[in-house]
Chain A
Amino acid sequence: MVGSLILLWPLLVATEFRPLQLFDAQSREPTLRFLATMVPPAIHSDFLQLVIRESWRTVAIATAGIALALLVALPATLVSVRVLSVSALSGRMSPAAFLLRQGVRWVLILLRSVPELIWALVFVRVVGLGPTAGVLAIALTYGGMLGKVYAEILESGDPTVAQTLLRNGSSRLQAFFYGVLPQNAAELTSYTVYRWECAIRSSVVLGFVGAGGLGQQLDSSMKMFAGGEVSTLLLVFILLVGIADFVSSWLRRQLG
């Protein structure tokens, strides 16, 4: 008991953990006022129209981002996957090929390690406020993620078919399309659909730094302390995530 308290104490200090602060008069009043304004959600028609438009934009940013991410991920996967190495058929992979594959892999890991919010912050500086920054941010982060996982999925499959094809003189692309892709296609598609669902969730968050969609609307409603609008947006957001969840699990069941 004492030991765990000693362990916990630095955490409490570092995070400025003061629960009582939530209940003192200074923060209680604005909180209660905000909660009170949330109760009838705003449902007048022009606001609802705006919400529907922004929800579509959120989905569109995620979809366009994933489409561009595939443009990054597919070539990177083709280059970096070890099963398609010709020199590895006879013992070790040649050093140049190994360096190329490892280099592409490191680039993918780097793309993936920078959170999409940071990419969005940087791109908002360059291209200005709007969906372009969000699409680019999703494209880069998810490109890295998809590329890395695609390569792992392809390498976890049975390599004999592709190796036999390569040994008998097929090109790498032929070996990919006839040897590697058929046995892994369902898993690849299912992972892509799952990532699309994740992208919808993160495109809402990207709106907070000005990349368009529901998040931007939520941010501005919150800054105006318009509680009714905030609660409508939160409900719509929960609904959207629920629908994406449902569609993605249904699609994955169909593919599986």
Chain B
Amino acid sequence: MSSAKITFQPAANRPYRLPPPLSGARHTAVWFSLGLLCLVSASFISLDLQWSAFFSAQAVGGMGRFIGEFYPPDLSPAFTSKLLYASIETLAMSALGTLLAAIAGLALALPASRMHTSDAAWLRTPTRLLLNALRSIPELVWAALLLISAGLGPFAGTLALACHTSGVLGRLYAEAIENAPPGPAYALRTQGLGGARVFLYATLPQILPQIISYTLYRWENNIRAAAVLGVVGAGGLGQLLAFHMGLFQMAKTASILGAMVLLVVLVDALSYGLRRMMTR
């Protein structure tokens, strides 16, 4: 055998190299900005906004007169007690609506979540679709729809809040159930326990703090929503506002607006304070 001769051959292919990216970050940013500019200008052009009417002397004068009529607000005892009652009604609507939504949301969240990896969860997709539909129709539209069967008044508003909020809460609860640590549930299931007991003793205790905080957060939102729901006739401060504004009783309108802003600011301050107290 002759001495082995090692020959180096050139590689059949050139070494593998990634192609340069088709669009760099700058490229994308330019396209985004252009698209944004087009969207904004198309919006302004297609809307035929009446700025000239808004800033004309007549409109400015009308605005001035309109605001002038707000003063002095009606603070007579009779009307103030009426306001107080409407505020209580608003609070009650939001509380009951949230409670109903929490119950319905939990009932819908169970079929909407996959409890463990071998769970077929047949109902997961249809229930999620239902939750999405409930969630994407706003409270006010629900209220207007429910007026037909529940009649004018706070009952329709409560049901409307419950419908929208159960969509929101159901989805949040389902996410919480699916994201709960699976260990305890697995341990109980391997001992042969049924689904209901596994949920009650393993999953629910782990997600309860999350459920409570989601529910309180939605309650805060619902107080704000309940204040304006009445504009379509569904009770609370909003119904009072729509009534007196329709009759051009501006002094009363002013005090109702004041009560609304006060309610919203109070709820904001209270929730801010509570959250700071709890996270400290």
The verdict on A156 contacting chain B, using a C-beta distance below 8 Å, is no
Top 6 closest pairs, chain A to chain B, by CB? A14-B92, A60-B43, A31-B149, A63-B43, A241-B136, A64-B43
Contact with B along A221-256 (1 / 0, CB 8 A): 010000000100010011001100000000000100
User: Judging by beta carbons under 8 Å apart, are A208 and B149 in contact?
Assistant: no
8 A Cβ contacts from B68-108 to A: 88-89, 92-93, 95-96, 99
Distance (whole angstroms) from the CB of A217 to the closest CB of chain B: 12
User: Judging by beta carbons under 8 Å apart, are B228 and A117 in contact?
Assistant: yes
Distance (whole angstroms) from the CB of A182 to the closest CB of chain B: 14
User: Judging by beta carbons under 8 Å apart, are B148 and A34 in contact?
Assistant: yes
The A contact surface, by secondary structure, is helix
> Would you mind naming 7 contact pairs between A and B with Cβ atoms under 8 Å apart?
A16-B153, A21-B150, A115-B228, A117-B231, A121-B242, A126-B54, A131-B48
Q: Whole-angstrom distance between the alpha carbons of A125 and B66 in the complex? A: 9
A64-B47, A131-B47, A205-B141 known; A115+B227 contact, CB < 8 A: yes
A17-B96, A27-B149, A60-B47 known; A234+B132 contact, CB < 8 A: no
The chain B residue sitting closest to A62, CB to CB, is B43
User: Judging by beta carbons under 8 Å apart, are A117 and B49 in contact?
Assistant: no
The verdict on B208 contacting chain A, using a C-beta distance below 8 Å, is no
A14-B89, A18-B155, A60-B42 known; A208+B47 contact, CB < 8 A: no
Q: Whole-angstrom distance between the alpha carbons of A219 and B47 in the complex? A: 20
Known: A67-B44, A113-B268, A204-B138; 4 extra A-B contacts, CB below 8 A, are A31-B149, A64-B40, A122-B66, A201-B136
Selected contact of A15 from candidates B148, B158, B232, B261, CB within 8 Å: B158
The verdict on B53 contacting chain A, using a C-beta distance below 8 Å, is yes
User: Judging by beta carbons under 8 Å apart, are A126 and B62 in contact?
Assistant: yes
Q: Whole-angstrom distance between the alpha carbons of A71 and B78 in the complex? A: 43
A17-B155, A27-B150 known; A57+B47 contact, CB < 8 A: yes
Selected contact of A63 from candidates B39, B51, B245, CB within 8 Å: B39
User: Judging by beta carbons under 8 Å apart, are A135 and B49 in contact?
Assistant: yes
Contact with A along B215-231 (1 / 0, CB 8 A): 00000000010011001
The chain B residue sitting closest to A116, CB to CB, is B228
Contact with B along A54-91 (1 / 0, CB 8 A): 00110111011001000000000000000000000000
User: Judging by beta carbons under 8 Å apart, are A15 and B136 in contact?
Assistant: no
The verdict on A52 contacting chain B, using a C-beta distance below 8 Å, is no
Q: Which residues of A contact B66 (CB under 8 A)?
A: 122, 125-126
Selected contact of A60 from candidates B46, B157, B232, CB within 8 Å: B46
Q: Whole-angstrom distance between the alpha carbons of A11 and B150 in the complex? A: 17
Distance (whole angstroms) from the CB of B183 to the closest CB of chain A: 31
The B contact surface, by secondary structure, is helix
A63-B40, A67-B40, A126-B62 known; A238+B132 contact, CB < 8 A: yes
User: Judging by beta carbons under 8 Å apart, are A61 and B47 in contact?
Assistant: yes
User: Judging by beta carbons under 8 Å apart, are B132 and A135 in contact?
Assistant: no
Q: Which residues of B contact A22 (CB under 8 A)?
A: 149-150
Q: Which residues of B contact A63 (CB under 8 A)?
A: 39-40, 43
User: Judging by beta carbons under 8 Å apart, are B148 and A132 in contact?
Assistant: no
Contact with A along B138-153 (1 / 0, CB 8 A): 1011001100111101
A113-B265, A131-B47 known; A16+B154 contact, CB < 8 A: yes
The verdict on B193 contacting chain A, using a C-beta distance below 8 Å, is no
Contacts from B to A (Cβ < 8 Å): 28, 39-40, 42-44, 46-51, 53-54, 59, 62-63, 66, 88-89, 92-93, 95-96, 99, 132-133, 136-138, 140-141, 144-145, 148-151, 153-155, 157-158, 224, 227-228, 231-232, 235, 241-242, 245, 257, 260-261, 264-265, 268
Q: Which residues of A contact B39 (CB under 8 A)?
A: 63
User: Judging by beta carbons under 8 Å apart, are B46 and A56 in contact?
Assistant: yes
The verdict on A110 contacting chain B, using a C-beta distance below 8 Å, is yes
User: Judging by beta carbons under 8 Å apart, are A57 and B46 in contact?
Assistant: yes
A14-B89, A238-B133 known; A127+B149 contact, CB < 8 A: no
Q: Whole-angstrom distance between the alpha carbons of A31 and B241 in the complex? A: 27
Q: Which residues of A contact B44 (CB under 8 A)?
A: 60, 64, 67
Q: Which residues of A contact B153 (CB under 8 A)?
A: 16
Q: Which residues of A contact B145 (CB under 8 A)?
A: 222, 230
Q: Whole-angstrom distance between the alpha carbons of A15 and B100 in the complex? A: 13
Q: Whole-angstrom distance between the alpha carbons of A114 and B54 in the complex? A: 21
The verdict on A30 contacting chain B, using a C-beta distance below 8 Å, is yes
The chain B residue sitting closest to A18, CB to CB, is B155
Q: Which residues of B contact A242 (CB under 8 A)?
A: 132, 136
Q: Whole-angstrom distance between the alpha carbons of A234 and B149 in the complex? A: 18
8 A Cβ contacts from A118-174 to B: 118, 121-122, 125-128, 130-132, 135-136
Selected contact of B96 from candidates A15, A61, A238, CB within 8 Å: A15
Q: Whole-angstrom distance between the alpha carbons of A201 and B167 in the complex? A: 15
Q: Whole-angstrom distance between the alpha carbons of A65 and B62 in the complex? A: 23
Distance (whole angstroms) from the CB of B48 to the closest CB of chain A: 8
